[in-house]
Structure 1
Amino acid sequence: MKRAAVALVLGLTLLSCSGPQPETQEAAPPKQDTSVVEMGMEAQKHIGLTVAPATLAQVTEYLHVAGTVQPIDSRIGAVRPLARGRVQEVLAKMGDRVASGQPLALLDNIEAGELVTESQAAQAELQKLKIQQAASARQMERSKRLAEIGATSQKEFELIQAEQNAMLEAIKAQESLLAGLSSKLRRFGLTEADLQQSSITTIRSPFAGVVIQVQVAPGAVVDPGMELFSIGDLSEVWIQAEVYEKDLGRIRMGQSALISVDTYPDEKFSGRVTYISDTLDPKTRAAKVRCVVPNPDLRLKLEMFVAVDVPTTFSRKSLAVPTAAIQQIAGKNIVFIRESEQKFEVREVQVGRVVDEQTEIVAGLAEKELVVIQGAFHLKAVLMSKQLGED
């Protein structure tokens, strides 16, 4: 009996071992850490990855507007003839740089010629009066001697003396007339001797500058007051821009401005806001704003298009990083912080103002932490691939 019972137990045991076995589950792979991104040194070198410490900087917001170069009204001189005449030759054209006193045109001065004729006639009359006065003086001297010996009456002597005095006054009046005619000739830049040969006068530039307008041609008859040339002193120019109504409160008189032009891409010109219009254009809802900019070498040309950067009233010292360092994932702003040579921490940050390719960091970053400022987009791509791998 005992042997039969042992045999039964062994049989049941063997049956249980030979039956179907439960399936074993495979071990799940370890979950990847998506708060850290790794990149080898060769890959970093290939993409030009660069890091820099986060630093405090003066964050100043600028208003960016377009404008044009214009001459300053008070630095424009209108050249006009002083007398009626006919233009013989035009010596300057628009755009020419001229020196002070440089000839601009030659004018056949009709009025100056008439003045010379009058002057010559007055000179002849003066000579006649002097001859008559000399003869009168001799007659008076004879009459005086005769009156002293009683050969003539005292009354006759006094009449001759009165004629002599009248003659002297006439000479003074004629000399005054000649002085007036000479003065008029000098205003034309001429003397009587100059016009003995020709009545051509020279119209000259009043100061050094650039010819910005020419309104005369050879052969034209011009009158006093007609504007022949406009000369602009362009050593200082206006930059005229238009600022929209909503931005006017962000600028103020006297503040500095930076001017850039496509012609000189690596250079900035400094200026100052000197005018903000009190009226708006009803169509554009913008006000005219002018900046004065020094232009000693005349590199800024009239009507040239420029970009104007005016610092606004917003300016404060804040932690800032280059805007290229900020990446967005799922609507969140992140930066990459270097932990070691090949590891970078993914850090969410809160951003503020963006000014001149610099982004203000309000929270999430400490000063001097090493931030990836170039190559952040490639690290973002690696991070996204890790997250897709998990899914």
Structure 2
Amino acid sequence: MQKKLRYAIGLCALVVSGAYFLWPRSEPPSMESADLGATEMDFATESAAEIRTVKLSPPKLASAAIQVETVKRTVLQPTCTLSGRLDYDQNRHVSIRSACEGILTEILGQPGNEVTRGQVVARIISPEVGQARSEVQSRLAALQLAENEQIRQSEICNGVQELVTLIRSGESPENIVTGMATESLGDYGRTLIEAYARMRSAIAIADGSREAADVGAIAGRIQTEREREKQTSEAALASLIDQALFDAKQQCKQSAAAAEAAQRDVDIALQRLNALLGPAARVVTQDSFSQVKNDTLSSVDLVSPIDGTVEERLLTATERVSVGVPIFTIADTSHLWAEADIRQSDWGAITVGLGQIVTITAPAIANTSFEGKVIVVGRRVDVATGAAPLVAAITSSDSRLRPGMFIRMIVPTNAARDVIAVPTKAVVVHENQTFVFVADSESEFRRVDVTTGEQQNEMTEITAGIKVGDQIVVEGVFKLKSEILLASEEE
């Protein structure tokens, strides 16, 4: 009925207009015709105003679930999206390999098993390791002998010095023997004490007969021989003392050098053993090696160097193990790398730097985003792909993230701007016109045409149409749009 009425009014207007153009120019249209045209214009204006405002009844308002937010300014960071894939964190992804030849005797880790750092995941038998452990045992025994000899020579050197001190102080041989009974002197003690006793005897004889020789009681020749014997014994003792001190010190130094050489041999043997056991194994020291039993000399434990999950097992028990051949792959998948390519066309616009946070999404994981910290901004362009690498580290316990998964990395391009922005879901487009709904009251909503700018993170920049503080509809927008379209059809 309304469409028929609108059609009739339009037809009348055409008739009136036609009548107007048929009148002579000297005769203006009547006032009735002018009033009718004004009425038609007022009706059209009123209809246009009516369809820009929606007022919902309480039942419709309840079903629409309208939600309103206050327009405010926000920081909008222009971005671009790069394609890439997830990969293992190369610092938390290792291949378990053997550093020696052997036979794989026991598998203690299976794909999917959680392992901790230092946990044994396999065992092998290696004759090479057995020989290395045997060499360490021999070197340790030689070291023990060398250290014992060094201690003995050091005690002899100290004992000889103490003995010489007593001799030079004039202590009696009897007291010296008694006092030095518990000291280590080697052959030097007997030699020096005997020479000391002979010297004291020669001195006593020469001094005791000197008065008799002076009065002629004994021949002068005899006294002269006694004096010569005294001097000879003194010189002999002095020479023995010098030689004993020198020899004792030299032997002490030689024994110390021998002990140091023996220690170096032990260190070299331990280093060779640790190299065969591998860098992830517990380091074998002199103290820990003494705990190894003979029946485990050739046994080698392969351990995990990190906390993670067994991703792959490449060998089975009883297989021969070669040096450097992977046996397990272990990774900590809570730490991954997102690797994207920066094409040459995007290189000039991207402003990302080390340590900056980027947003990462995966099509396989809907409605979820992850933060990544940039760790590599490649400078070398790959010849094959024409792109430079951009790598961001992700730390997440989400088990849905898997190495090899396709991802998109959202990175900043230009400088951030302070703008008016609204949720993208609040913006409506109809017949190439963009608009939002402004809440004039709890039940009345007005369509406001806006001009939009850039979009980011489900926010849309508004460059014209609304201002800070306006109340816009962010939920129930589709319901309001439907009401407007329905009202337009009824008009």
Structure 1 residue 108: Cα displacement: 1.0
User: Match of 1:288, SS?
Assistant: strand
Which residue number corresponds to residue 33 of structure 1?
Answer: 47
Residue 355 in 1 paired to residue 456 in 2? yes
* Contact kept? 2:86, 2:403, Cα under 8 Å: yes
Structure 1 residue 176: Cα displacement: 6.9
Task: Spell out, residue by residue over 1:254-302, the C-alpha distance to the aligned partner (whole angstroms, 9 max, x if none).
Answer: 3211335578767654321222333556776554321012347978543
Which among 121, 128, 134 is matched to residue 104 of structure 1? 121
Aligned counterparts of 1:245 and 1:286: Cα–Cα separation in 2: 6
The verdict on how the C-alpha distance between 1:244 and 1:116 changes in structure 2, with shifts beyond 3 A counting, is closer
Residue 273 in 1 paired to residue 374 in 2? yes
Aligned counterparts of 1:194 and 1:351: Cα–Cα separation in 2: 76
Which residue number corresponds to residue 346 of structure 1?
Answer: 447
Unaligned segments of structure 1, at least 5 residues: 1-23, 127-139, 149-164
Bigger Cα displacement from structure 2, 193-202 vs 274-283 = 274-283
The verdict on how the C-alpha distance between 1:44 and 1:104 changes in structure 2, with shifts beyond 3 A counting, is same
Residue 183 in 1 paired to residue 270 in 2? yes
Residue 218 in 1 paired to residue 218 in 2? no
Which residue number corresponds to residue 205 of structure 1?
Answer: 304
Residue 293 in 1 paired to residue 309 in 2? no
Aligned counterparts of 2:142 and 2:76: Cα–Cα separation in 1: 84
Structure 1 residue 107: Cα displacement: 1.3
Amino acid at match of 2:350: R
Amino acid at match of 2:130: G
Which residue number corresponds to residue 47 of structure 1?
Answer: 64
User: Match of 2:469, SS?
Assistant: coil
CA RMSD of aligned residues (A): 4.4
The verdict on how the C-alpha distance between 1:177 and 1:37 changes in structure 2, with shifts beyond 3 A counting, is closer
Aligned counterparts of 1:108 and 1:39: Cα–Cα separation in 2: 85
Structure 1 residue 362: Cα displacement: 0.6
Aligned counterparts of 1:367 and 1:210: Cα–Cα separation in 2: 52
* Contact kept? 2:86, 2:337, Cα under 8 Å: yes
The verdict on how the C-alpha distance between 1:253 and 1:191 changes in structure 2, with shifts beyond 3 A counting, is same
Structure 1 residue 340: Cα displacement: 4.2
Which residue number corresponds to residue 250 of structure 1?
Answer: 350
* Contact kept? 2:104, 2:125, Cα under 8 Å: yes
Task: Spell out, residue by residue over 1:64-123, the C-alpha distance to the aligned partner (whole angstroms, 9 max, x if none).
Answer: 445433223234444433432222112223343322221122111111333466678899
Task: Spell out, residue by residue over 1:199-235, the C-alpha distance to the aligned partner (whole angstroms, 9 max, x if none).
Answer: 3222222343333444433223234444434443555
* Contact kept? 1:34, 1:383, Cα under 8 Å: no
Amino acid at match of 1:194: V
The verdict on how the C-alpha distance between 1:34 and 1:223 changes in structure 2, with shifts beyond 3 A counting, is same
The verdict on how the C-alpha distance between 1:274 and 1:386 changes in structure 2, with shifts beyond 3 A counting, is same
Which among 292, 296, 299 is matched to residue 194 of structure 1? 292
The verdict on how the C-alpha distance between 1:119 and 1:287 changes in structure 2, with shifts beyond 3 A counting, is closer
Following superposition of structure 1 onto structure 2, how do residues 1-391 of structure 1 map, counting pairs within 5 Å? 30-31=43-44, 32-35=46-49, 36-41=52-57, 42-115=59-132, 179=266, 183=270, 187=274, 188=277, 189=284, 191=289, 194=292, 196-198=294-296, 199-234=298-333, 236-248=335-347, 249-254=349-354, 255-260=356-361, 268-279=369-380, 286-295=387-396, 300-390=401-491
Higher helix share: 2
User: Match of 2:77, SS?
Assistant: strand
Structure 1 residue 358: Cα displacement: 1.9
User: Match of 1:320, SS?
Assistant: strand
Aligned counterparts of 2:370 and 2:128: Cα–Cα separation in 1: 49
Unaligned segments of structure 2, at least 5 residues: 1-31, 144-185, 195-250, 278-283
Which residue number corresponds to residue 215 of structure 2?
Answer: none
The verdict on how the C-alpha distance between 1:202 and 1:267 changes in structure 2, with shifts beyond 3 A counting, is same
Which residue number corresponds to residue 151 of structure 1?
Answer: none
Aligned counterparts of 1:207 and 1:323: Cα–Cα separation in 2: 45
Aligned counterparts of 1:318 and 1:61: Cα–Cα separation in 2: 12
The verdict on how the C-alpha distance between 1:120 and 1:318 changes in structure 2, with shifts beyond 3 A counting, is closer
Structure 1 residue 309: Cα displacement: 3.2
Q: With structure 1 as the length reference, what TM-score do the two structures score? A: 0.67
Q: With structure 2 as the length reference, what TM-score do the two structures score? A: 0.55
* Contact kept? 1:69, 1:239, Cα under 8 Å: yes
* Contact kept? 1:34, 1:386, Cα under 8 Å: no
* Contact kept? 2:365, 2:400, Cα under 8 Å: no
The verdict on how the C-alpha distance between 1:47 and 1:197 changes in structure 2, with shifts beyond 3 A counting, is same
Structure possessing the higher radius of gyration over alpha carbons:
2
* Contact kept? 2:352, 2:412, Cα under 8 Å: no
Aligned counterparts of 1:275 and 1:90: Cα–Cα separation in 2: 37
Amino acid at match of 2:90: D
* Contact kept? 2:136, 2:266, Cα under 8 Å: no
Amino acid at match of 1:361: I
